[in-house]
Amino acid sequence: MIREHEVRGRVVDDETRCAHWHGPDDVLAILFPCCHEWYPCRDCHDEAAGHAGEVWPEGSGDERALLCGRCDRETSIAEYRATSACGFCGGAFNEGCRTHAHLYFA
């Protein structure tokens, strides 16, 4: 697949898994509001961006800030929070990501 989105950081495969998170369902990249760049995780952002990552503020549910590494389609924050799979390709997302959602969303 030819990707339209550039995902930065220590990405280790074509589905946006990184050096920090590389399980079978670790396929989401996040658009950081501080720099409007895509990264697979907060650690990748903080290592590569040169500044601390910011969280999406409350009321940002309509922002298309999640990127499925399987199909390269953007999903809104609200859509992501309401499901555990991509609404386009049906691929599962890592359920464990919800435990550290506070690092990305207020």
Please report the pLDDT score of residue 1 as a whole number: 73
Handedness of CA 71, 76, 80, 83 (dihedral sign): negative
Q: What is the mean pLDDT of the chain?
A: 95
- Report the residue count for the chain: 106
What are 81-99's pLDDT values in tens digits? 999 999 999 999 999 888 9
Instruction: Give me the mean pLDDT over the 20-31 stretch.
Output: 96
Residue 2 pLDDT more than 80? no
Please report the pLDDT score of residue 31 as a whole number: 98
| 44 φ, ψ (degrees, to nearest 5) | -60, -45
Residue 38 pLDDT more than 90? yes
Please report the pLDDT score of residue 57 as a whole number: 98
| 96 φ, ψ (degrees, to nearest 5) | -65, -20
Instruction: Give me the mean pLDDT over the 30-50 stretch.
Output: 97
* 91's tokens: 């691929």
